[in-house]
């Protein structure tokens, strides 16, 4: 039976580390690292995500403020609002919770964020820095996945890693970060023709497709490590992308909930304290 890779336990350790760095920063500079969270509209999943982020900021000893704007806000007004937060010296990180309502263009809104405060790592500049291998703020979910693999002692150098999903926020940046770790990376997506065969070759399988049960037991090699990024709401229950019986063949696996989710939140706090240190 697969060992459980406990994202909650690791996230608690990460938050302790952030807390110590925040306290040291505050002792030296006389202010806490600051995070602003911007929520537009009332997307139910977003409401629950921002609550976890506010709680984690509190646990990590950061200053945080949340701004809720109506779904009807004009794109220009939102851009100006985000721009003003960007100029606020108390704030080191600004997070615009995605997805935005359909009438707002995500790229245009994110472009109003100063890249040095883009703690989600979604601006074009930070994504370009990742591609170029330059220092920058990296997206939180991929950071959390890499951290969990390292924490569990999984060797990535030379490993065959399959990533299912190529989104700009998860699959793509994760593939680049795995290349930085010297893994051989295969990225699969909705047009891929040989999902089962490719997954079967992998030492590490990372599912980020948002399709419950897309990774099945018979697709996974005995002893592979499986990371489940997916969050699917089925019959009022949260499930991942990996079928539960994959645990019978995998050597280690993350649960949903309690795996990658808490790591994403912890990495946001780590990015905020990192941004704060770079700015000062």
By CB under 6 A, name the one of 229, 250, 253, 269 that touches ligand NAD: 229
Residues from 82 through 121 that contact ligand NAD (CB under 6 A): none
Q: Could you report how far apart the first and last alpha carbons of the chain are, in Å?
A: 48
Residue owning tokens 């897309």? 214
**How many of the other CB atoms lie within 10 Å of CB of 170?**
24
- Alpha-carbon span 247 to 228, nearest angstrom: 11
Residues from 129 through 188 that contact ligand NAD (CB under 6 A): 141, 164-167, 169-171, 188
Residue 136 Cα distances to 46, 111, 122, 124, 125, angstroms: 25, 16, 11, 11, 9
Catalytic residue among 53, 92, 147, 228: 53
Q: Are 169 and 122 in contact (CB under 8 A)?
A: yes
32 or 163: whose CB is closer to ligand NAD?
Answer: 163
53 catalytic per annotation: yes
258 makes contact with ligand NAD (CB under 6 A): no
53 makes contact with ligand NAD (CB under 6 A): no
**How many of the other CB atoms lie within 10 Å of CB of 251?**
17
By CB under 6 A, name the one of 60, 227, 231, 246 that touches ligand NAD: 231
127 makes contact with ligand NAD (CB under 6 A): no
| Cβ 240 to ligand NAD shortest distance, Å | 8
By CB under 6 A, name the one of 208, 250, 252, 253 that touches ligand NAD: 208
Phi, then psi, of 252 in degrees rounded to 5: -155, 150
32 or 149: whose CB is closer to ligand NAD?
Answer: 149
Select from 137, 66, 133 the least CA-distant residue to 97: 66
88 catalytic per annotation: no
Which residues are at the interface with ligand NAD (CB under 6 A)? 141, 164-167, 169-171, 188-190, 192, 195, 208-211, 214, 229-232, 260-261, 264
Active site residues: 53, 97, 120
């Amino acid at each position: 039976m697969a060992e459980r890779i406990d994202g909650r336990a690791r996230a608690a350790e990460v938050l302790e580390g952030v807390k110590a760095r925040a306290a040291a920063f505050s002792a030296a500079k006389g202010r806490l690292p600051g995070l602003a969270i911007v929520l537009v509209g009332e997307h139910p999943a977003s409401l629950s995500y921002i609550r976890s982020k506010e709680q984690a900021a509190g646990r990590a000893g950061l200053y945080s403020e949340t701004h809720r704007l109506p779904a009807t806000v004009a794109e220009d007004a939102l851009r100006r609002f985000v721009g003003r937060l960007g100029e606020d010296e108390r704030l080191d990180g600004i997070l615009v919770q995605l997805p935005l309502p359909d009438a707002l263009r995500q790229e245009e809104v994110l472009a109003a964020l100063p890249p040095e405060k883009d703690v989600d790592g979604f601006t074009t500049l930070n994504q370009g820095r990742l591609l170029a291998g330059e220092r920058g703020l990296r997206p939180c979910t991929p950071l959390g996945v890499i951290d969990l693999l390292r924490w569990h002692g999984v060797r990535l150098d030379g490993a065959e890693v399959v990533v299912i999903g190529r989104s700009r926020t998860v699959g793509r940046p994760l593939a680049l970060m795995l290349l930085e770790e010297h893994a051989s990376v295969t990225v699969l997506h909705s047009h891929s023709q040989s999902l089962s065969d490719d997954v079967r070759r992998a030492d590490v399988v990372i599912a980020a497709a948002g399709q419950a049960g897309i990774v099945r037991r018979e697709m996974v090699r005995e002893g592979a490590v499986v990371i489940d990024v997916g969050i699917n709401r089925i019959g009022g229950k949260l499930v991942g992308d990996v079928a539960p019986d994959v645990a019978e063949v995998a050597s280690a696996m993350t649960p949903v909930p309690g795996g990658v989710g808490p790591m994403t939140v912890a990495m946001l706090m780590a990015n905020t304290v990192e941004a704060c240190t770079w700015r000062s």
